[in-house]
């Protein structure tokens, strides 16, 4: 039997059914309040995350020392760290081959900064997205092997059998998190929590976290010899950025890494991130939203449509002037990327709608679509439909695409199976994201098969209509202190969504359009204080017209509470996501 809709909202302004906490969750939240004296809204959030009352204190104050796994839990870790240290001590030439996204750039920067602190240089190599594609390639690896004794492949390499075999004369270590195949490449060490022979308990780590664990092990081996290694805590800002930007779930140690990394980032000690925050006009302590939507896309912009190594160079530099120049260039590239993305997004959405948005897989393909934006457009389609999405650019009879998944559906495994079955030229990834290459004449068959594989995992069963809420709030209860309390349950992001609350029968006043499509207004119940609200993109859909209509009556409002900082002033606001007539 379907539970009653929250506030009786069966169909909201955006066409969704509101779903609130069930009776059991309510009872558990009340019990937690009695045992812990925590505010009820925070107790609801903890219950939704499966936190028991006796675990609440530890959950709200996660300690990295308690949650950081022993690096030796990952196979080949000891061998990788030992070979890495041997190269450092012997002053052997070291090359770092990295992916061109934020995770790859941050992983490379971690190694470069650690080596710099040890007085050792390193060669950075990041392949061009268009000319070379993802991961190690034979010419590049053979060339690096001629002048280096050790090559570290970060955020790539797990499926690169032939390119790694081509690195004759050099040892190769792989530090990756993408799904592994049945056999491993001929590297000296392959450290990857998503190897087939791992237990999967650390499969949520991004590549930068894997690199960080190797550096933890390297420091441990140095301490055993009486030598102090570089300060790893100061490098957690890079791990936090990579974790959020790579859409890794913010659970377990990831949550602690990001939380501590945000504190490090707030100290503004890394020139590259300081310059990037300044060009993004970030004037407050960073949070996961800023990492995912302001900083991450700018770091990514170089790999998408510019020089592939710009992001890694920015994150690794110690020179403030160089950092400012790189940040300005990346900011300009990000603006250009957005323009390209908008054109591809409109075409992809129209094509996907014509094909139908109710299938287990939403996909689109087009000639000349820039390979640097197909992943972002896939993410937009996924967000709009609550289904895995794949977007492919076609050129010369070959399609190069990228996909994004939804919670509970392992896209990387399905894509890898497709590649093993011969329907793809190449494919791989992890649970939430994947890349692929496909012959144009096999495109329809490949997407049909992928849709079938994803359907078996439950894709397409949960529609986009349900909006899950953490409870009901009165305006008088919505205070900056409550936001501070709820933030203790964060950081929020993939796998740990920010709490979303409803306000019932609110009066909307002073609605006004901001920019092309955003809406600002205030609301209240006539008893408590009025609260400011913002609805981004409201006029791109039905929310803007509904709430901006004079004398439209009262509304149920749903969204996330936050502190808006502007011009040095901070104020509570609701980031509106949905509304319904009361």
Does residue 465 register a pLDDT over 80? no
Distance from chain centroid for Cα 83: 31
Q: Mind listing the pLDDT tens digit for each residue in 121-141?
A: 999 999 998 889 889 999 999
Contacts of 538 (CB under 8 A, 6+ apart): 517, 518, 519, 544, 547, 576
Dihedral angle over CA of 354, 355, 356, 357, nearest 10: -100
pLDDT in tens, 222-254: 999 999 999 999 999 999 999 999 989 999 999
Phi and psi at residue 399, to the nearest 5° = -105, 130
pLDDT mean across residues, the chain: 94
Q: Does domain 6-19+469-581 have CATH number 3.10.20.30?
A: no
Q: What is the pLDDT of residue 284?
A: 87
Angle between helices 102-117 and 207-224 (to 10 degrees): 20
pLDDT computed for residue 462 by the predictor: 59
Q: pTM for this one?
A: 0.89
**Angle, alpha carbons 574-576-578 (nearest 5°):** 145
Return the closest-CA partner of residue 432 out of 466, 450, 408, 449.
408
Predicted pLDDT of residue 112: 98
Helices (H) then strands (E): counts for the chain: 21, 18
Q: Is 122 helix (H, G, I), strand (E, B) or coil?
A: coil
DSSP H helices in 288-319: 288-290, 296-305, 310-316
| Residue among 61, 12, 57, 7 nearest 32 (CA) | 57
pLDDT tens for 201-210 read 999 999 999 9
Residue 463 predicted with pLDDT over 70: no
**For residue 452, what pLDDT band results from cuts at 50, 70 and 90?**
very high
The answer to whether 55 and 489 are in contact (CB under 8 A) is no
State which CATH number among 3.50.30.60, 3.10.310.30, 3.40.50.800, 3.30.1490.20 fits the domain covering 356-456: 3.10.310.30
CATH 3.90.1640.30 fits domain 68-330: yes
3-state secondary structure of 333: helix
Decide: 463 and 19 in contact? Cβ < 8 Å: no
Lowest mean pLDDT of 1-5, 29-33, 93-97, name the range. Answer: 1-5
């Amino acid at each position: 039997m379907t539970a009653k809709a929250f506030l009786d909202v069966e169909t909201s302004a955006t066409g969704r059914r509101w779903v609130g906490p069930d009776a059991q969750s309510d009872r558990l939240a009340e019990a937690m309040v009695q045992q812990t004296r925590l505010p009820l809204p925070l107790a609801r959030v903890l219950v939704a995350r499966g936190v028991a009352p006796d675990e609440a204190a530890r959950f709200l104050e996660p300690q990295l020392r308690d949650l950081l796994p022993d690096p030796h839990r990952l196979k080949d870790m000891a061998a990788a760290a030992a070979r890495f240290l041997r190269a450092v001590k012997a002053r052997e030439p070291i090359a770092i081959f990295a992916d061109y996204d934020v995770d790859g750039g941050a992983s490379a920067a971690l190694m470069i900064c650690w080596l710099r602190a040890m007085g050792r240089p390193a060669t950075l190599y990041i392949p061009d997205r268009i000319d070379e594609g993802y991961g190690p390639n034979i010419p590049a690896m053979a060339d690096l092997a001629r002048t280096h004794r050790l090559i570290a492949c970060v955020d790539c390499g797990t499926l690169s059998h032939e390119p790694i075999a081509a690195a004759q004369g050099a040892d190769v270590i792989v530090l990756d998190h993408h799904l592994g195949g049945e056999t491993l490449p001929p590297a000296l060490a392959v450290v990857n929590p998503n190897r087939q022979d791992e237990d999967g308990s650390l499969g949520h780590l991004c590549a930068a976290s894997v690199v960080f664990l190797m550096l933890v092990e390297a420091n441990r081996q140095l301490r055993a010899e009486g030598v102090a290694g570089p300060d790893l805590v100061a490098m957690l800002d890079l791990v936090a950025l990579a974790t959020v930007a790579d859409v890794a779930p913010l659970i377990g140690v990831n949550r602690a890494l990001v939380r501590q990394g945000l504190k490090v980032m707030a100290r503004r000690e890394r020139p590259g991130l300081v310059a990037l925050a300044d060009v993004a006009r970030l004037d407050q302590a960073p949070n996961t939203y800023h990492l995912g939507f302001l900083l991450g896309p700018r770091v990514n912009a170089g790999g998408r449509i510019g020089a592939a190594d710009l992001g890694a160079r920015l994150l690794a530099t110690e020179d403030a002037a160089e950092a400012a120049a790189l940040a300005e260039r990346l900011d300009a590239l990000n603006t250009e990327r957005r323009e390209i993305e908008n054109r591809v997004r409109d075409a992809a959405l129209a094509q996907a709608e014509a094909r139908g948005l109710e299938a287990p897989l939403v996909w689109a393909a087009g000639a000349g679509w820039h390979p640097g934006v197909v992943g972002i457009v896939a993410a937009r389609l996924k967000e709009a439909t609550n289904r895995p999405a794949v977007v492919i650019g076609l050129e010369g009879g070959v399609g190069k695409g990228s996909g994004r998944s939804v919670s509970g559906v392992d896209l990387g495994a399905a894509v890898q199976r497709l590649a093993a079955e011969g329907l793809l030229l190449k494919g791989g990834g992890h649970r939430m994201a994947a890349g692929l290459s496909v012959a144009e004449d096999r495109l329809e068959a490949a997407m049909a098969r992928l849709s079938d594989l994803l359907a078996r995992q439950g894709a397409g069963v949960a529609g986009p209509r349900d909006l899950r809420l953490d409870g009901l709030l009165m305006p008088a209860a919505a205070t900056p202190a409550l936001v501070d309390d709820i933030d203790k349950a964060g950081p929020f992001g993939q796998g740990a969504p920010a709490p979303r609350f409803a306000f019932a029968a609110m009066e909307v006043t002073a609605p006004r359009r901001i920019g092309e499509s955003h809406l600002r207004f205030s609301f209240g119940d006539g008893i408590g204080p009025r609260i400011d609200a913002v609805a981004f993109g409201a006029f791109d859909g039905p929310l803007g017209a509904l709430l901006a209509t004079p004398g439209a009556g009262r509304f149920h409002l749903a969204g996330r509470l936050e502190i808006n900082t502007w011009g040095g002033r901070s104020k509570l606001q609701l980031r509106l996501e949905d509304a319904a007539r009361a």
